[in-house]
A and B are shown apart, each in its own frame.
Chain A
Amino acid sequence: MSNSLVRSKAAWFLNGMRGIVSVPALILMTSFVGFAGLASGAGISLAQTLFMVAIVWALPSKVVLVGSIIAGSSLPATFIAVTLSAMRLMPMVAALVPEIRTKKTPTWLLLILSHFVAITAWVYTMQKIDTIPREGRIAYFAGMAGTLCVANIVIVAIVYNLVPELPTVVAAALFFLTPIYFLTSLWASARERVIHIAMVLGLFSAPVFHRISAEFDILYAGIIGGTVAFAIDRLWRRRTGRRP
């Protein structure tokens, strides 16, 4: 590897690290303040909570894990509940990998970096990826997603013992930041029409599938909504005979 290439990779890593000073990173950190309160309230020790943040990372899966611990679920039952909430990570990672790898990227590196994929890092990367040259994308993602993870471990360590007593309406507003941010940034990051169709179908089919099965609703909405969106887009292309 030439010296200038190493230097530019380091520059992209630093550039990714700077993502910690951004609206999505701030929103995620406020969510982790809420998670620290949930974990300490559940009687999970500080060390166990930090361990959980580091090795599970995806926030919805951690909330399911803590919920199962509070409910006194067995190990197999907890595994199943957490794994159902985490299945969505597979298509998310599969969609991200072709965007960030080069022909030379080793699989072991992708396996390690995949650990840092969660909704915030995924949406953020999908939004920025076009502005980053392919050679810098792995370094950028590692810098951004790794920093995000470390920063939130630090946040949880700091606030665990000072569980904040916020007025309900302020706490509600903080919790509402996450969905409204994801909604707008996911829409803004879409480069193809199929993404917008998939979003609309996912949003509106989720409550329908929630009535059918509260456990599998996200999977149904994702697989069926995404497949229908893909089919609509293909038919649309055939009809108009051109790409969007």
Chain B
Amino acid sequence: MTFQALDAWWWPYLFIILAGWLATDIWRWLGVLVGNRLREDSAALSWVRAVATALVAAVIAKLILYPSGALEASPMAVRILATISGFGAFLVTGNRIIVGIVVAIPVLILGTLWFA
């Protein structure tokens, strides 16, 4: 049963409800049930926060290293260099997010044009 399997108007919506909505919101609801049992300042919350942070960090690493779409056009070395220079500038200026962005984006653009 694929997305295009039935000609009925409701089938794509049912497909999205089952494979999209249910598949994602189940985890959000479980998160509420788990989070409701965690006390603030408990070691368990500290662990959950560490796991959540490492998960998001892994998503970030994948967006940089294995991008989809137009970002694939810039070489991996350029993407890594842009990340390091942007993050370095962010750290040097006392965690100013906008500085990190303003440095990383031109490095990416110039590097991509250079190697294109």
Contact B19 A210 (CB under 8 A): no
Separation of A1 and B6 alpha carbons in the complex (Å): 51
Q: Do A195 and B73 form a contact, CB below 8 Å, given A89-B28, A187-B90?
A: no
Tell me, yes or no, whether A88 is within 8 Å of chain B by CB: yes
**Neighbour of A90 across the interface among B31, B39, B45, B100, CB < 8 A:** B31
Beyond A23-B101, A107-B32, list 16 extra A-B contacts (CB 8 Å). Answer: A51-B16, A52-B20, A55-B17, A61-B20, A86-B26, A88-B55, A88-B59, A93-B35, A169-B116, A173-B109, A180-B104, A184-B86, A204-B61, A210-B62, A226-B55, A233-B50
Are B64's CB and A179's CB within 8 A? yes
Q: Are A198 and B95 interface neighbours, CB within 8 A?
A: no
Would you give the shortest CB distance from B28 to chain A, in whole angstroms?
Answer: 4
Interface flags for A73-87 (1: CB within 8 Å of B; 0: not) read 111001100110011
From B25, B30, B38, residue with most partner A Cβ within 10 Å = B25
A residues touching B (Cβ–Cβ < 8 Å)?
A: 23, 34, 38, 44-45, 48, 51-52, 55-58, 60-63, 65, 68-69, 72-75, 78-79, 82-83, 86-99, 101, 107, 110-111, 114-115, 117, 119, 122-123, 166, 168-169, 171-188, 190, 192, 194-195, 197-207, 209-210, 217-219, 221-223, 225-227, 229-230, 233-234
Question: A83–B27 contact, CB under 8 A?
Answer: yes
By the criterion CB–CB under 8 Å, are A48 and B16 in contact?
yes
A-B pairs with beta carbons under 8 Å apart, 25 shown:
A34-B69, A48-B13, A51-B13, A72-B4, A91-B48, A95-B49, A95-B52, A96-B31, A110-B36, A111-B32, A169-B109, A169-B113, A173-B108, A176-B108, A182-B59, A183-B83, A183-B87, A184-B95, A184-B100, A188-B97, A199-B54, A210-B62, A222-B52, A222-B58, A225-B58
Closest residue of A by beta carbon distance from B110? A169
10 tightest CB-CB pairs across the interface, nearest first?
Answer: A93-B31, A97-B35, A202-B57, A222-B55, A226-B51, A202-B54, A171-B70, A221-B58, A225-B54, A206-B61
Distance (whole angstroms) from the CB of B48 to the closest CB of chain A: 5
> Shortest CB–CB separation between residue A182 and chain B, in angstroms?
5
**Contact (Cβ within 8 A) B58 A180:** no
Which residue numbers of B lie inside 8 Å of A, CB to CB?
1-4, 12-13, 15-32, 34-36, 38-40, 43, 45-71, 73-74, 79, 82-83, 86-87, 90, 95, 97-98, 100-101, 104-105, 108-109, 112-113, 116
